[in-house]
A = this chain, B = another copy of it.
Amino acid sequence: MVDGVLPRAERRRRTEARILEAARALFADVGFERATIRGIAKAAEVDPALVMQYFGSKQELFQQAVRVTLVADGELGAEEVVENVLGTLNVKLGELPQSSLAMMRSMLTHPEAAASAREVLGKQVERLAETLPGEDARLRAALITLVMLGVTVGHQLLEMEELAGVPQEEIARVLRPSLRALAGQEVS
């Protein structure tokens, strides 16, 4: 409470936030296994022991780092019509939040991240399926979701050169008829 100095609670909050930010970046870059507490601490400019003090374990730190994803992605698509999926193209192809990237980076090799990914994708599928017509709505919803996943993985994580310089609008344009077809609409 001394003037000119931050309250200790506030100071701690900011330090935690800085650690989380560094953790997300490193997890997103190299995945859970290759990201080390020491590396995260160094990037956040804090002592490695402090990271453990605050978050208890590497596992819990990872959970905290990717947790936001669930909420954020839950708000993404949102509404009722298929055009919204196309709308998310911009987000998916642009700057996806670090927490999402962190989760995706590890989803094939870290059980916790895999479970998280299944949950997020599953919710997306559910939401889509409600708005799609036909018997096979769920299958179509799943495939739409996986198309987006594939494009995102190729672009953001594998960084394929074929998509490197291409503007989002161009990708969205080429992809649109394809998604419309999956949504069960015959014509454009």
Q: How far is the CB of A73 from chain B (nearest CB, A)?
A: 15
How far apart are the CA atoms of A166 and B179 in the complex, in Å? 20
Residues from chain B with a CB closer than 8 A to the CB of A179 are 178
Do the beta carbons of B178 and A162 come within 8 Å of each other?
no
Q: Is the CB of B154 within 8 A of A153?
A: no
A133 to chain B, nearest CB (A): 13
Q: Which residue of B lies closest to A105 (CB)?
A: B108
Closest Cβ–Cβ distance, residue A117 to chain B (whole Å) = 6
A31 proximity list for chain B (CB < 8 A): 108-109
Q: Does A161 contact B (CB under 8 A)?
A: yes
Within 8 A of B (CB), among A118-167: 118, 121-122, 125, 136, 138-143, 145-151, 153-155, 157-158, 160-163, 166
Using known A-B contacts A139-B170, A154-B142, determine if residue A104 contacts B109 with beta carbons closer than 8 Å: no
A154 to B153, CA, bound (A): 12
Given A140-B174, A147-B150, 11 other A-B contacts at CB below 8 A?
A106-B108, A118-B160, A138-B162, A139-B170, A142-B154, A143-B151, A146-B151, A146-B155, A177-B182, A178-B182, A180-B181
Q: A residues within 8 Å of B by Cβ?
A: 30-34, 104-109, 114, 117-118, 121-122, 125, 136, 138-143, 145-151, 153-155, 157-158, 160-163, 166, 170-171, 174-175, 177-182
